[in-house]
Chain A
Amino acid sequence: MSAVDLADVGGQVAITGIGESEHTGISNRTTRQIAAEAVERAIADAGLRPEDIDGIMYHPMGGDQFDEHAFHAHFGTTHDMWVSRDGGGMRWAATAPHEAALAIGAGRAHHVLNSFAVAWATQRSDMVGGPGQAHADNLVKQNLEIPAGYFPQPVYAATMARRHMIEHGTTTDDLAAVALTMRAHANATPGAVMHARPLTLDDHRTSPLIADPLRRYDCCLISDGGGAYVVSALGAARQLSRPLVTVAGVGLARAPEGSFLALRDDITTTEVADAARVAFAMAGIGPQDLDVLTVYDPFTIITLMVLEDLGVCPRGGAGALARAGELRAPGGRWPTNPHGGLHSHAYVLGIAHVVELVRQLRGQAANQVPRAGVGVYAASTGAEAGVLVLRGGPGA
């Protein structure tokens, strides 16, 4: 087991505000400018004022996220804030509510803001391998992997896809079905980067090979954008105007081998499997209880692997679900990334996945899943995985 032991915070806090920036290609904006837009919208959505936010979470990555200094500079405030650098996107978008709940429970904060933004479309040409920069900076990879050409993430995912095909019979048409589902969701989502760009099976099959078997349309976008949410105590959340969405369960797992795939015994699974066990136990649910799902989806194969890790089907079964339309929102049994995900909505590393999940559980999403009561966000970033279970509707 790679799962981290987490204190049970199920039902203690709620997500009371959500916001997103505009999602664009090259915006020539800074990360903080983008984040500020999302943060303003999240605070307003909660019906709060900036001075009500007394806790702030962000990720230290890049050193340019929306930290407490950026917050005060932007809003002209000076109040004390509880600060955590264990926030942001990726798996932290799933686990930040856990740390926020502990801080709120200990009386250190009442309303905790978590935000994340990237300006990687703008900054891409200055990065080593674009979003691969973090891997390029790793000395072991520099000396044992990159000389062979094993870099960056699309190359890792291609070897995962190949092995998944060998062991579990997944096909390129399974991958295409994921891509087309994500694009159809984005086409019906105002604000999605690919809102106006349909994708056909033929488009997918004829798109350039990136690292075979992965083609261009198996890979996510690179875009500028950000998102934010506010976590509040349950009592305070009941006083606010938005439909209640509570944090039911959180799970975290760490791979002992870190992000080195060569050391991973089984490269067709992720740490989501372990993180989900913790989150589901905390929430008192099983995979059969999930009404709507958001999955961190840098590549089509990862979406399939994470769905299998969540237990919605046996290993090797997710491709057939995708081809049968079961990932569609609404209409499928396992509606996944109703906003279009990293693939077609925006490359904001998971923060918009949580925003979308809250929207679904409030009943206010573009591709609304009817009567969605239990939702999950699951994110594997290779070395770590986070799983967040939220409840909305009468069960919240």
Chain B
Amino acid sequence: MRDDFPLPDRTWPLTAGFWDAAADRQLAIPRCAGCGRWVWYPRAACPGCGGRAMPWTAMGGTGRLHSWTTVHHCFLPAFDGLLPYSVGLVTLDEDPAVRVVTRLLGDPGQLRADLAMVVEFRPLEFTGVQGTVLAPWFRPA
């Protein structure tokens, strides 16, 4: 495993655009240049039209909470400093088929099904791991 796991590998081509955009405080999703479809997760070819040009495209950064959990058990030593933390699935407003996995900020007691959420950028840090990356997480709007 990489030394900086579980930080993302910003050099991995398939997802580098996601983290590059986050560094510029943008939440970005690949959009097919041919048919306009949002392609999530990123892949080599558009499942709609087969097009291969899918530039990372800035989103409004709003969505709805689909599901979530607050994690209490330490599954990785690197998570130790985070506990308890909340994580979930947020459906983006531009296309309900685009659902992102995201850390959830704020009071977990406020979380409700289909709650309106908004992106917030936070430095990502893990116990015992060198380095940091700016990450697009969500909090209740």
By a beta-carbon cutoff of 8 Å, the part of chain A in contact with chain B is 128-130, 132, 136, 139-140, 142-152, 154-155, 158-160, 162-163, 166, 208-214, 260-263, 265, 267
| Least Cβ–Cβ distance between A213 and chain B, in angstroms | 8
A residues near B135, Cβ cutoff 8 Å: 147-148
Indicate if the CB atoms of B72 and A162 lie closer than 8 Å.
no
Q: In the complex, A210 Cα to B74 Cα: how many Å?
A: 9
Q: In the complex, A162 Cα to B103 Cα: how many Å?
A: 16
Q: In the complex, A81 Cα to B68 Cα: how many Å?
A: 49
A residues near B75, Cβ cutoff 8 Å: 129-130, 132, 151-152, 154-155
Q: Does B87 contact A (CB under 8 A)?
A: yes
Indicate if the CB atoms of B6 and A147 lie closer than 8 Å.
yes
Indicate if the CB atoms of B82 and A136 lie closer than 8 Å.
no
Indicate if the CB atoms of B8 and A149 lie closer than 8 Å.
no
Q: How many A-B residue pairs have CB under 8 A?
A: 113
| Least Cβ–Cβ distance between B126 and chain A, in angstroms | 9
Indicate if the CB atoms of A150 and B101 lie closer than 8 Å.
yes
Indicate if the CB atoms of B89 and A261 lie closer than 8 Å.
yes
| Least Cβ–Cβ distance between A262 and chain B, in angstroms | 5
Indicate if the CB atoms of B9 and A143 lie closer than 8 Å.
yes
Indicate if the CB atoms of A147 and B68 lie closer than 8 Å.
no
Q: Which of A142, A146, A211, A263 contacts B40 (CB 8 A)?
A: A263
B residues near A163, Cβ cutoff 8 Å: 66-67, 113
With A158-B69, A162-B69, A210-B72 already in contact, 9 other A-B pairs whose C-beta atoms are closer than 8 Å:
A129-B75, A136-B5, A147-B7, A148-B87, A154-B75, A163-B66, A166-B67, A265-B97, A267-B67
Q: Which of A148, A260, A265 contacts B41 (CB 8 A)?
A: A260
Q: Does B57 contact A (CB under 8 A)?
A: no
A residues near B141, Cβ cutoff 8 Å: none
Known: A155-B87, A160-B67. A208 touches B101 (CB 8 A): no
**Shortest 3 CB-CB distances between A and B: which pairs?**
A158-B69, A143-B15, A159-B67
Q: Does B88 contact A (CB under 8 A)?
A: yes
Look across to chain B and name the residue whose beta carbon is closest to the beta carbon of A128. B1
| Residue total for B at the interface (Cβ-Cβ under 8 A) | 41
Look across to chain B and name the residue whose beta carbon is closest to the beta carbon of A136. B1
Known: A142-B8, A143-B9, A261-B89. A212 touches B70 (CB 8 A): yes
Indicate if the CB atoms of B73 and A262 lie closer than 8 Å.
no
Indicate if the CB atoms of B67 and A146 lie closer than 8 Å.
no
Between-chain CB contacts (< 8 Å), 16 pairs: A139-B9, A140-B14, A140-B41, A142-B2, A144-B8, A147-B124, A147-B135, A148-B102, A149-B79, A151-B6, A151-B76, A155-B75, A155-B87, A212-B70, A262-B89, A267-B67
A residues near B97, Cβ cutoff 8 Å: 265
Known: A128-B76, A140-B15, A159-B88. A149 touches B5 (CB 8 A): no
Indicate if the CB atoms of A162 and B79 lie closer than 8 Å.
no
